[in-house]
Amino acid sequence: MVNPTTMPEQVREPPGSVSIKDVARIAGVSIATVSRFINDPERVKEQTRTRVQAAIAQTGYSPNTLAQSFRRGKTHLIMVVLPSVGDPFFTGVMSGIRSVAGGRGYSLLINETQFNTMTADEIGAMVVSRQADGIVLLASLSPFGNEVLSAHSHRTLPIVIGCETVSPELANFPGVHIDNSAAAQEATDYLLALGHRKIAFIYGQQQSLLTSDREQGYRASMHKAGISVRESWVVEGKLTMEGAIAATRILLGHADRPTAIFCANDEMALGCIYAVKSAGLRVPEDVSVVGFDDIRYARICDPALTTVYQPAEEIGEKVMNRLLDEIEGGRSGSAGAEIVAHKLVVRKSAAPPSV
Among the listed residues 29, 187, 270, 298, the single contact to its own copies using CB under 8 A = 270
3-state secondary structure the chain: CCCCCCCCCCCCCCCCCCCHHHHHHHHCCCHHHHHHHHHCHHHCCHHHHHHHHHHHHHHCCCCCHHHHHHHHCCCCEEEEEECCCCCCHHHHHHHHHHHHHHHCCCEEEEEECCCCCECHHHHHHHHHCCCCCEEEECCCECHHHHHHHHHHHHHHCCEEEECCCCCHHHCCCCEEEECHHHHHHHHHHHHHHHCCCCEEEEECCCCCHHHHHHHHHHHHHHHHCCCCCCHHHEEECCCCHHHHHHHHHHHHHCCCCCCEEEECCHHHHHHHHHHHHHCCCCCCCCCEEECCECCHHHHHCCCCCEEEECCHHHHHHHHHHHHHHHHHCCCCCCCCEEEECCEEECCCCCCCCCC
Name the segment binding its own copies (CB under 8 A); options: 34-42, 206-214, 246-254, 294-302. 294-302
Note whether 38 binds DNA by CB under 7 A. Answer: yes
Question: Which of DNA, its own copies, none is residue 189 near (CB under 5 to 8 Å by kind)?
Answer: none
State the minimum distance, in angstroms, from the CB of residue 151 to DNA: 21
Note whether 233 binds its own copies by CB under 8 A. Answer: no
Among the listed residues 48, 84, 111, 167, the single contact to DNA using CB under 7 A = 48
Question: Which of DNA, its own copies, none is residue 36 near (CB under 5 to 8 Å by kind)?
Answer: DNA
Q: By C-beta, is 186 or 313 nearer to its own copies? A: 313
Name the segment binding its own copies (CB under 8 A); options: 173-181, 204-212, 227-235, 298-306. 298-306
Note whether 70 binds DNA by CB under 7 A. Answer: yes
Note whether 302 binds its own copies by CB under 8 A. Answer: yes
State the minimum distance, in angstroms, from the CB of residue 69 to DNA: 9
Note whether 68 binds DNA by CB under 7 A. Answer: yes
Note whether 116 binds its own copies by CB under 8 A. Answer: no
Please give the residue ranges that form the binding site for its own copies (CB under 8 A): 14-16, 62-67, 69-70, 73, 75, 82, 84-92, 94-95, 98, 107-112, 114, 124-125, 127-131, 152, 155-157, 241, 245, 270-271, 273-274, 277, 296-297, 299-302
Residues that bind DNA (CB under 7 A): 19-21, 28-33, 35-36, 38-39, 43-45, 47-48, 61, 63-64, 67-68, 70-72
